[in-house]
Structure 1
Amino acid sequence: MNNKNITVTLALSSFTLALTSQAHADFIGDSKANLGMRSFYFNNDNRDGTATPSKTEEWAQGFMLDYKSGYTQGTVGFGVDALGLLGITLDSGKGRHVGGSMIPSDSDDRAVDEWGRLGLTGKVKVSKTELRYGTLQPKLPILVANDGRLLPQTFDGGQITSSEFKDLTLTGGRIDHATGRGSSDQTGLAAMGGTRESNQFYFAGGDWKVTKDLMLQYYYANLENYYTQQFFGLIHTLALSDNQSLKTDLRYFKTDSSGENSSGTPGYRISGYTKNSDGVIDNRTWSAALIYSVGGHSITAGYQSVSDGSYFTQLNQGGLVDKGAGGVSLYLYTDRLIQSFNRAGEQTSFGQYAYDFAALGVPGLKASVIYLTGDNIKTTSGDNQKEWERDISLDYVIQSGSLKGVGFAWRNGKSDSDASRNQDQNRVYVSYSIPLF
């Protein structure tokens, strides 16, 4: 744990003790704590190419202690949250381990036996406005914390959320560090392929529920010396009958270079194709999806267009020295198990079918299959490349008995791409959460 972590930990610990000594019933009485457990098997088979390893295969057990306090009484309420994460390697090997895929690496590039981290968050609430400072896991169009492996990605910074106005939620903040899903160490921030760290990611925006069926969104973000990004979103749900609806989801991103990236300064350039081969960010991405639901059935059809100035870009620390800093989520329908379909010029069509077996009297069982196909891809090695991916998902949560709440999940993906290695991937999860109080 670095000096900054130690300082924040001690400060928030002292803050917590001070609160406890004078806490009102709401601070203690409204506190909640859960112990989440996740056993995760990950298998990624690269079916072509000469790079090693050709296969990544690992199994680990994760523990996630999540504590959320209530607020002290009064006009200004104070509270504190804590997140303790621990991963234990059950099976891996030097020939089957890639640092950052899921498990951190030791000095010999082997998987470590165990790893963990502690995140603390102070919070202040006035009326319907909340300020949080410390460990954050944002779920915003311009920044989504990744939870695609054993332990989740986390960020450090401050975020304020306000719902003072009816049907309008405003959000803003600043992020300065990230901790990757396969690491215990903080890093600065970067964009895809960037090797120089930025410590300032500013964001602001809001969700406006115009009617009970229509929501409009706007967000702005700036990663210093890399890019600025604007997001416009529209979500509309049309009720066709009691158990039938049609949902429309429209998304548009405008991403432009900023600071050092604008001049193509080494270290701040992004990887992959850019129009002038200078690593400068210049992208417009839009998508439209229609989701038709009836009973337990759900059918999705959509299209996404990425402009050819550069890749679609959001925070990505994969180019930094810490191998475990990689692994991101993008607010795109096409961000899937293997590919994200966000390459320069890529035009993607996709369709998904999902079924909730509760409609057949089997609650807790869900399944889905999605197929995506992209073309017109521009890379540094050629134009008009193509790729496709098919993913299957199966989930079941036991509904009763001594094992009630235990969840099982299987993810299977298959991808063929002219722009990257062909891959088969399997993920198997077993999860359970114990409420402590």
Structure 2
Amino acid sequence: MKSTLSPRQRLLGLALAGSLAPYAQADLVEDSHLTLNAINFFFYRNNLNNPDGQNYRKEWAQGLSLNFSSGYTAGLIGVGVDAYAQLGIRLDSGKGTSGTGLLPIGDDGRAQAEYSEAGGAVKARLSQTVLKFGNLTPMNPVFGTGSARLFTMQANGFQLTSDDLAGLHLDAGHFTSGNDGASTNDSGSIKALFAGVDARSVDYVGGQYTFSDRFSVSLYGSRFADIWQQYYGNANYRWPLADTQSLGLDLNVYRTTDYGKRLAGEIDNTTWSLATRYQNGPHGITLAYQQVDGDEPFDYLGFDQQPGTSIYLANSVQVVDFNAPNERSWQLRYDLDLATFGVPGLSFMTRYVSSDGIDDSHYRGGAHAAYGRYGDDGQRWERDIEVRYVVPSGKARDLSLRLRQATLRSSQQVAKADTVDNDEVRLIIEYPLSIF
């Protein structure tokens, strides 16, 4: 939904809503919540040998997101509403440096000076089972609407969740449209991301069962209408070794096959990852292996121009997912919590992921073949470094500063088919404020 208000009017509206919230609280259903999240995002990427000629992408934007969640009316079946309003403001961008995904691009090829939207959902609750309809943000392994930019993606449809049985979380949904975090197109398409094919609708069902604080399993299934059926399984276990030591295992498996009219072509793909993490006090070391078995990439949800977050694989990292056809990848990661050294809230992470075996030379996708771009004998690697500080107490509590740097290098054909070699820096400052 495109707003006609000026940036100053929108900012005034957000501020006014926050100032009036304490007085309006008495009129709201009990357990209502109103939060304002401010996020400042700087994104710089230096593309190397880019075939489209744009080597540098650099943008800076400010986002404001106001989120309201009501409680429920009294009675056997309680009803309520959720609503949101968000505003993105361009702080720095140019026609030759746009395209980071922070800001929508206008017809003139330039990033828009500002963009905004608002929406909401109605909800009903019976015991611990909740049905919602409207603009929703489900997060699960087969349909995830998180974001790596200013705002969370929105999907339009139904979602049913239940926590009535101890230890069991159930989740089901039906969605027909949505938009990414840099768009105001409320009726944008839901896509098979790498195939670039629109899905008329998406249905999913699944859940997680927690046996104990050490062991849990998840199972999900989804159907992208006339594109694919996808199934997901996970097992996660943690062994305490000593007071400050533990060892964890995390196994993820996806199975994807074509469905219906096969609008993305024939698909026969099994992709899995296994990660083990050793924790010793403030130190964490992770080793992971990931493998794609299929002549097409492991494909997943996309909205308009951006990827969703329904890829729960160990080597899906900052820039790429290491999900190319027949790709095998290894990861070494190190985490450090500096609270032990007298700096609570400060953490450090670095990881290196390397892969080989990328090969779709035997791809035969049929009449609607949508893949087949990677060639054979492909390889790539990515190195990520991140420093994060979250203010632990005081008036600025929960204010976070996050500095992320990534370097990606690939063999020539892989770079053309997926993501070009690049060096990037992201600086993200985020402040969530609970109004009531």
Contact 1:198 1:224 in 2 (8 A): yes
Within the candidate set 313, 326, 331, 2:306 is matched to 326
Contact 1:205 1:217 in 2 (8 A): yes
2:279 is equivalent to residue 297 of structure 1? no
Over the matched positions of the two proteins, sequence identity in percent amounts to: 31
Partner of 1:16: none
Give the match's secondary structure for 1:312: coil
Number of residue pairs matched by the alignment: 395
CA drift of 1:137 comes to: 1.4
Give the match's secondary structure for 2:116: strand
CA drift of 1:347 comes to: 0.2
Give the match's secondary structure for 2:75: coil
Contact 2:147 2:181 in 1 (8 A): yes
Pair 317,147 (structure 1): closer, same or farther in 2 beyond 3 Å: closer
Partner of 2:403: 410
Contact 2:195 2:299 in 1 (8 A): no
Partner of 1:145: 145
Pair 27,403 (structure 1): closer, same or farther in 2 beyond 3 Å: closer
Contact 1:162 1:169 in 2 (8 A): yes
Within the candidate set 395, 399, 405, 2:392 is matched to 399
CA drift of 1:327 comes to: 3.1
Contact 1:194 1:317 in 2 (8 A): no
Give the match's secondary structure for 2:261: helix
State the alpha-carbon separation in 2 of the partners of residues 26 and 283 from structure 1.
Answer: 53
Aligned AA (1:231): Y
Partner of 2:364: none
Q: Which runs of 5+ in 2 are unaligned?
A: 3-24, 361-372
Show CA shifts across 1:129-165 (max 9, x none). Answer: 1111112212211122131011221211111111222
In the TM superposition, 1:197-346 aligns within 5 A as 197-261=198-262, 268-269=263-264, 279-317=265-303, 325-329=305-309, 330-346=311-327
Partner of 1:48: 49
Contact 2:191 2:199 in 1 (8 A): yes
Contact 2:152 2:181 in 1 (8 A): yes
Show CA shifts across 1:102-121 (max 9, x none). Answer: 21011101010100111201
Pair 381,79 (structure 1): closer, same or farther in 2 beyond 3 Å: closer
State the alpha-carbon separation in 2 of the partners of residues 26 and 246 from structure 1.
Answer: 50
Pair 83,283 (structure 1): closer, same or farther in 2 beyond 3 Å: same
Pair 381,149 (structure 1): closer, same or farther in 2 beyond 3 Å: closer
CA drift of 1:381 comes to: 5.0
Contact 1:26 1:70 in 2 (8 A): no
Pair 358,133 (structure 1): closer, same or farther in 2 beyond 3 Å: same
CA drift of 1:378 comes to: 1.6
Give the match's secondary structure for 2:339: helix
Pair 26,281 (structure 1): closer, same or farther in 2 beyond 3 Å: farther
Give the match's secondary structure for 1:94: coil
Within the candidate set 326, 329, 346, 1:348 is matched to 329
State the alpha-carbon separation in 2 of the partners of residues 242 and 127 from structure 1.
Answer: 38
Partner of 1:423: 422
Pair 400,216 (structure 1): closer, same or farther in 2 beyond 3 Å: closer
Contact 2:32 2:71 in 1 (8 A): yes
State the alpha-carbon separation in 2 of the partners of residues 333 and 195 from structure 1.
Answer: 24
Partner of 1:176: 176
Aligned AA (2:329): T
State the alpha-carbon separation in 2 of the partners of residues 52 and 133 from structure 1.
Answer: 44
Give the match's secondary structure for 1:358: helix
Contact 1:40 1:427 in 2 (8 A): yes
Show CA shifts across 1:19-40 (max 9, x none). Answer: xxxxx98962311111110010
Q: Which runs of 5+ in 1 are unaligned?
A: 3-23, 262-267, 270-278, 319-324
Show CA shifts across 1:224-282 (max 9, x none). Answer: 01110011110111111222111110011100011222xxxxxx33xxxxxxxxx4322
Partner of 1:7: none
CA drift of 1:300 comes to: 0.6
State the alpha-carbon separation in 1 of the partners of residues 60 and 107 from structure 2.
Answer: 20
Contact 2:295 2:359 in 1 (8 A): no
State the alpha-carbon separation in 2 of the partners of residues 40 and 368 from structure 1.
Answer: 20
Pair 217,403 (structure 1): closer, same or farther in 2 beyond 3 Å: closer
Aligned AA (1:434): L
Show CA shifts across 1:307-352 (max 9, x none). Answer: 132110111245xxxxxx3233222222222111000000010011
